[in-house]
Structures are given as structure tokens and as C-alpha cells.
Amino acid sequence: MSSPVVFIDGDQGTTGLQIHERLRNRTDIRLFTLAAAERKDSRRRAEAINACDIAILCLPDAAAREAVGAIVNPAVRVIDASSAHRTQPDWTYGFPEMTPRQAEQIANACRVTNPGCYPTGAVGLLRPLVQAGLIPGNYPISIHAVSGYSGRGRAGVEEHEGPGAANAPSYQVYGLELAHKHTPEIQQHARLAQRPIFVPAYGAFRQGIVLTVPLALRLLAPGVDGATLHACLARHYAEVTHVRVLPLHESRALKHLDPQVLNGTNDMHLSVFHDVEHGHVLLSAVFDNLGKGASGAAVQNLNLMLTRQ
């Protein structure tokens, strides 16, 4: 039997380039991309996507919808790295560690939507705690996250690495309209009854994310404290490879969170910090926005889907 054909549509962006780099030396697949002259040819793109076994879409949302709409071959399976389908009920959410059966569902799926980078951290922290009843679904959740500038795509890389890099901002908070496109995805997959407040930012480093969620224990169920929340997360991720919940003693020893510490990996570290005296807890997630937050997650999902190819 010949190796499955994997077509990357949009391999020139930050996510697509890293996916290509992670896959280009694999011998268990036949990797296919379009020549530069063919990338904007809708007929050629439609031919390519219908001739592959698994397509990985690294495209803007509208182009991703167009690519999916061009599929007439029922055997073609898709991993969409855009945000076009992340809240669609007929697409499988590609966060393998989210639930005990999520990896199996991804392996068997025809349509998989890669999580957004910020939602990977937010859902990773909140979904187990909400599902266990430790955080009420109607809790007024607020989320703050700082990403490397590659999270802006090629525009961010050009601003910080191009001719005008000396004038690039060192830090910028954005999404001030409080309507970031990742917010509905976080609400849906974290099982929140109310829309969370999400405030993102970019720093002057290429890649990596620190995401934090503060909690007031007085708004949680009686008896729930930092140790309870930590124990729930530790149980949920005890058997998985790419998500590690730091033991409480390791978290207590930390003086800062470095967004770049897991760059180049597909790993994510979760921590629970708590102030017993004042009843405050801080949940945190650290991971690579181009690893577990994008390209690494796509390759992880591809590997799961290949087990059923």
C-alpha cells in the first residue's frame, strides 16, 4: 500500500511553513504542496485537494471555506488550521487532550478543526474544572494572554524582523473592542455559560505564549481551593504526553513565567498559583503559539488521523 498523500494548502504562512518543516523528512507520508505559480489558481487547488488523502489548510478563513467547498471526493479528510470551522458542530475539535475520548474522535474524523493558539491554553485550563463543577459555568471569567509577534502571521514577523524592526513596539495590548474572534471558541469548548472577557497582547519575542486566568475563591463552591483545582487538572492530564500540570511545589518556586520556555515543542505547562490569605488563585498556561498552539497541534492531529487512514 502506498503512503498517504498529505497536501498543505497555504504552506507559505507562519503556520504552514512550520508544518512543512515538521513533515518534510517523513517517510510514512507523501507531502505535496503547490508551486508558487499555482497557489492562486482555484482550479489547480481544487484538483490538488481532491487528489490527496488528508489536506491541511493554512489559509485565511474565507479561503479555507472555499477550499472545503471545493471537495467532491468523499475520501478526502481535512485538518483546518484557520478559525473558520472551530465552533461548527459537524467538525471535530482538534484538541486531543480536552476529553478522555477526544483523541479517538480526532483519529476517526473526516473534518478536524485545529484549535486557536489562545483557546488551547484557555480551554486546557478551564474545561476540566468547569466539567468537574469546580468552576461554575456562569463564573465571570477573564483571560489575559501575551503571545509572540508571530501570532500576527507574516505581518507580525515583517514588522519585527523586516527593515523597520527598530521601530517595532516592545509590547502592545489589542482586541480592545472585546470582540476577539477566539472568544466564542473559548466559550463553547470550555463550556462557559457566559462570554468570557479576553484581553490579548503581543510582545517583542518571536513565539511563545503565557495565558492567565484569575479566580476569586469566594465565587466558587464552598471548600474549593487552589489545591482542589490543581488536583482536578493533574488527574485530567495524568496520562497524556503533551500537557503537564506542574506540581504545586514547582509552581511555588517560580518567580516568573517565561513564554518562550517551550518554544519548538508541542508541549504545554499548566500551573496553579494560590494566595491562601486573600482567597485568590491564578491559573496559567505556557506553550509555543506555533507549536501546541498551531503547527505542532496540526501534526499531532495528523498523526492521530493517520492511524485510521
Residues noted as catalytic:
117
What ranges make up the beta strands (E) of the chain? 5-9, 30-32, 54-57, 77-80, 92-93, 111-113, 142-148, 171-173, 197-203, 209-216, 243-245, 268-275, 280-287
Q: How many residues in the chain?
A: 309
Interatomic CA distance for residues 59 and 65, integer angstroms: 9
For 103-116, b where at least 16 C-beta lie within 10 A, e where not — what string?
Answer: bebbbebebbbbbb
Percent helix, strand, coil in the chain, to 5, is 35, 20, 40
Q: What distance lies between CA 75 and its chain's CA centroid? A: 26
Q: What distance lies between CA 179 and its chain's CA centroid? A: 18
Interatomic CA distance for residues 159 and 296, integer angstroms: 24
Interatomic CA distance for residues 165 and 176, integer angstroms: 24
Interatomic CA distance for residues 20 and 37, integer angstroms: 18
**Is residue 87 a contact partner of residue 42, using CB atoms and an 8 Å limit?**
no
CA angle 199, 299, 123 (to 5 degrees): 30
